[in-house]
Amino acid sequence: MPQKKPFITLAQAKEIAADIPTPFHLYDEKGIRENARRVNAAFSWNKGFKEYFAVKATPNPYLLKILQEEGCGVDCSSYTELLMSEACGFKGSDIMFSSNDTPAQDMKKAYDLGAYINLDDLTHVAFLEKVAGVPKTVCCRFNPGGVFELGNGIMDNPGDAKYGMSEDQMAEAYTRLMAAGAEQFGIHSFLASNTVTDDYYPKLAGILFELAVRLHKRTGAKIKFINLSGGVGIAYRPDQRSNDIAAIGEGVRKKFEEILVPAGMGDVAIFTEMGRFMLAPYGALVTTVLHQKHIYKEYIGVDACAANLMRPAMYGSYHHITVLGKEDTPCDHKYDVTGGLCENNDKFAIDRMLPEIDIGDIVYIHDTGAHGFSMGYNYNGKLRSAEVLLKEDGSHQLIRRAETPEDYFATFDFSPFFKK
């Protein structure tokens, strides 16, 4: 199997680890900035284009500020994500609020910030009006039902998804919102996750552009923007092809020219909400080998666990592994790479062919820049790790300290012991 190239060397990892003990999530500022510029270039044909980074993927203000400097907005789904975005200086139309089962506090905060509010259900029209008010611009989320297919087969099953409204509900929502004072509208939809094909966005765009034309004709609503949401994936496996964002942008442009321009809707802005594509390849979990175990299989125990990266345990997801300093050593040993949780699925790799590993080796787990740290938890009393930024000049910066036992006990009010 081909190998992926880490964005740090063993020497760099040792230098950082001498300052910030492993495990830690490490992010590559240079890679993040270059990728954001590629995305903006791919959609530069659309005057209103904006990437709203999905905060849920990597909620760290230092990273949000980098993306803000590259012209990105933020996609929020909760009160605390809105607070973090506000603290970073995002406001108004730089924020997209997409939520479901939404608490009143969250909706009111989004309204107060002037965010674009994306309503998930027809009943949320009255809810929004009651708890906050109806802004001049409102978005609604579309669910076409059925299955979503591309030429290479079924991609996902929107009919089983809890998100969005039917087309008739969208039309009714627009009509009610206009009666309540709304003047401009957005369309939002998310039909498949982590797609590794250049066809997904163009196919989705075609569906939403045609929907926009029908809704405009049916209700008279002015469509201000169409949000393609996320779903553009990355090549987690080294033998997978990577998405070509330039080709994706061009495919969306063709659909735009084919459908919206002839309908007199060539001023519609295109938005995206990518989390995984924006950051996943530019983050890694760096961990140190603590133990070896030789029974019916060969096990390598590291100081990270599923509490630091739960995707392999939760989904069986593949994350490539590099043993730093042994990049050119033959992968002729078969290992399970495990953490220390009291769960047998706490494994970063199963039957993985790797170089011979020694205690003390530094292991680099690829593509954890999105849905890595953010999905962490405290099972077994495990503490969340630090987050570190590898800056463009090669220096490193601690951007989130590791949790301490005091953090773990901070919400208890049981005895003086927990207040030490």
Which tens digit of pLDDT belongs to each residue from 333-346?
A: 999 999 999 999 99
Written as tens digits, the pLDDT of the chain (420 aa) is 688 999 999 999 999 999 999 999 999 999 999 999 999 999 999 999 999 999 999 999 999 999 999 999 999 999 999 999 999 999 999 999 998 889 999 999 999 999 999 999 999 999 999 999 999 999 999 998 767 666 555 455 666 767 889 999 999 999 999 999 999 999 999 888 888 999 999 999 999 999 999 999 999 999 999 999 999 999 999 999 999 999 999 999 999 999 999 999 999 999 999 999 999 999 999 999 999 999 999 999 999 999 999 999 999 999 999 999 999 999 999 999 999 999 999 999 999 999 999 999 999 999 999 999 999 999 999 999 999 999 999 999 999 999 999 999 988 877 676 665
Q: What's the CATH superfamily of 29-280?
A: Alanine racemase (3.20.20.10)
Helix (H) or strand (E) holding 38: helix 29-42
- For residue 228, the tally of other CB atoms under 10 A from its CB is 25
Calculate the average pLDDT of the chain: 94
In Å, how far are 83, 100, 191, 269 from 142, measured between CA atoms? 27, 13, 9, 17
Model pLDDT, residue 353: 97
Between CA 77 and CA 109 the distance in angstroms is 11
C-beta of residue 124 within 8 angstroms of C-beta of residue 103: no
Model pLDDT, residue 194: 87
Closest among 31, 140, 5 to 391, alpha carbons compared: 31
Helix (H) or strand (E) holding 213: helix 200-219
Helix orientation angle between 61-69 and 79-87, rounded to the nearest 10 degrees:
60
Q: Is 381 helix (H, G, I), strand (E, B) or coil?
A: helix
One-letter identity of residue 138 = V
C-beta of residue 362 within 8 angstroms of C-beta of residue 10: yes
Which tens digit of pLDDT belongs to each residue from 285-302?
A: 999 999 999 999 999 999
Model pLDDT, residue 54: 96
- Enzyme catalytic residues: 342
29-280 with 281-409: one CATH topology? Answer: no
Rg (CA), the chain: 23
Which tens digit of pLDDT belongs to each residue from 52-105?
A: 999 999 999 999 999 999 999 999 999 999 999 999 999 999 999 998 889 999
Report residue 322: phi and psi, to 5°: -120, 135
Residue the block writes with tokens 């989705």: 204
pTM for this model (two decimals): 0.94
Helix (H) or strand (E) holding 408: helix 405-409
C-beta of residue 138 within 8 angstroms of C-beta of residue 130: no
- For residue 105, the tally of other CB atoms under 10 A from its CB is 12
Residue ranges of domains in the chain: 29-280, 281-409
Instruction: Return the HEC string of 280-337.
Output: HHHEEEEEEEEEEEECCCEEEEECCCCCCCCHHHHHCCCCCEEECCCCCCCCCEEEEE
Between CA 37 and CA 71 the distance in angstroms is 9
Model pLDDT, residue 154: 45
Helix residue spans in 224-290 (DSSP H): 245-255, 276-279
Domain 281-409: state its class. mainly beta
Q: What is the DSSP letter of 56?
A: G
Query: What are the DSSP calls for 88-145, one per residue?
Result: TT--GGGEEEE-SS--HHHHHHHHHHTPEEEE-STTHHHHHHHHT---SEEEEEB---
Report residue 65: phi and psi, to 5°: -65, -40
- For residue 332, the tally of other CB atoms under 10 A from its CB is 9
Strand 321-323 to 333-338 pairing: unpaired
Q: What is the largest CA-CA distance in the chain?
A: 71
Helix (H) or strand (E) holding 363: strand 362-365
Closest among 188, 215, 200 to 252, alpha carbons compared: 200
